[in-house]
Amino acid sequence: MSVGIDIGRSGVKIVSKGGTLPIIPAIACPAVSIDDREEALRVSRETVVVDGSPWMYGSAAAIHSGSEPGIYAGFEQTVEYEVLIAGALKTCIQNGIAINKVVAGVPSEAGQDVKDLVAGLFRKHGVESIRVIAQPAGALIAAAQVHPELVAEGSSTAIVDVGRYSTDIALSQNGRPVLGAYASVPGVRLAVDVLASSLRGKITGTASFEVLETALRTGKLVYAMKEIHCTAEIAAAKERLSADIKRTLQTLITRQRGNIQAVVLAGGGAELITLDVPVIVAAGRHAVARGFALLAEGL
């Protein structure tokens, strides 16, 4: 079966013809031995062997390592990334998906060397037919399923994919990526950082990424079981994220001498930002993987 796999900093999204799988938290850590028999069995389902060493991934790693998804550059070069690839493939098999063709993605700023590296990792873990493309292309293909004009002859479309680590902005003409017309600015982590620093003095200790991100989404910060009043801080943090994205999008559009007909907004952070142009929302956090799955069918 053909599968689209989008390995993001917060979660691994998998789409096949059979539908979408639950998002796997993008966390990996060396396996630990678990005494409790039932829990050990659950953890074994989220354990893979990479270069002879056992690693836990997903919720098993989240629970037993206590860590959150990493927010650092050079993700594709880490062993954790390879563990997530092996984990994604294992999850497919566990869900009855017999993989034969995979399309996966990298941020648009990644060069051919990174694409080759990622393709090599999939081959190492048994996938023979693999194609690695820029993540925004997946979002564009998914949106074009509903709005075919986005990739039609003469079309000129911008894609904004608001992720956890980065917001990828790219331009396409006639459905093809425009050489050099892409930019990467921080993702949701920027709003989380801004909110964290504006809360100094209001809370003791440091709120986790997840707690701060939930506050951005719900408008309410609950820390150590208490609600902290910070509506203005939350609004300012979201505004800062939007402002950076708007500025970069505008620079790319100016480069195209204003010739843009539509903006596709994708990624799990899409709902946190506002742009001052009309947007087509590529539905759901699985949009990139859905576009990849459509492409994989044609491999």
Ligand X SMILES: Nc1ncnc2c1ncn2[C@@H]1O[C@H](COP(=O)(O)OP(=O)(O)OP(=O)(O)O)[C@@H](O)[C@H]1O
If contact means CB under 5 to 8 A according to the sort of partner, which of ligand X, Mg ion, none does residue 25 touch?
A: none
CB of 7 to Mg ion, least distance (A): 8
Work out which of 58, 163, 269, 291 binds Mg ion, going by CB under 5 A: 163
If contact means CB under 5 to 8 A according to the sort of partner, which of ligand X, Mg ion, none does residue 58 touch?
A: none
Instruction: For ligand X, give the closer residue by CB, 136 or 177.
Output: 136
Instruction: For ligand X, give the closer residue by CB, 87 or 268.
Output: 268
Instruction: For ligand X, give the closer residue by CB, 177 or 187.
Output: 187
Instruction: For ligand X, give the closer residue by CB, 102 or 162.
Output: 162
Per-residue three-class SS string for the chain? CEEEEEECCCEEEEEECCEECCCEECCEEECCCCCCHHHHHHHHCCEEEECCEEEEEHHHHHHHHCCCCCCCCCHHHCHHHHHHHHHHHHHHHHCCCCCCEEEEEECCCCCHHHHHHHHHHHHHCCCCEEEEEEHHHHHHHHHHHHCHHHHCCCCEEEEEEECCCEEEEEEEECCEEEEEEEEEEECHHHHHHHHHHHCECCECCCCCHHHHHHHHHHCCEEECCEEECCHHHHHHHHHHHHHHHHHHHHHHHHHCCCCCCEEEEECCCHHHCCCCCCCEECCCCCHHHHHHHHHHHCC
- Residues with Cβ within 8 Å of residue 29, at least 6 apart in sequence: 55, 56, 61, 64, 65, 67, 80
Q: Does 286 bind ligand X (CB under 6 A)?
A: no
Q: Does 268 bind ligand X (CB under 6 A)?
A: yes
If contact means CB under 5 to 8 A according to the sort of partner, which of Mg ion, ligand X, none does residue 184 touch?
A: none
Work out which of 15, 183, 188, 195 binds ligand X, going by CB under 6 A: 188
CB of 177 to ligand X, least distance (A): 17
Instruction: For Mg ion, give the closer residue by CB, 58 or 163.
Output: 163
CB of 80 to ligand X, least distance (A): 13
Classify burial at 226, counting beta carbons within 10 Å of its beta carbon; exposed 0-12, middle 13-18, buried 19 or more: exposed
CB of 163 to Mg ion, least distance (A): 3
CB of 40 to ligand X, least distance (A): 28
Q: Does 8 bind Mg ion (CB under 5 A)?
A: yes
The pattern of x and - marking residues 105 through 144 that bind Mg ion according to CB under 5 A reads: ----------------------------------------
Q: Does 187 bind ligand X (CB under 6 A)?
A: yes
Which positions touch Mg ion (CB under 5 A)? 8, 163
Which positions touch ligand X (CB under 6 A)? 8-11, 26, 163-166, 187-188, 213, 267-269, 285
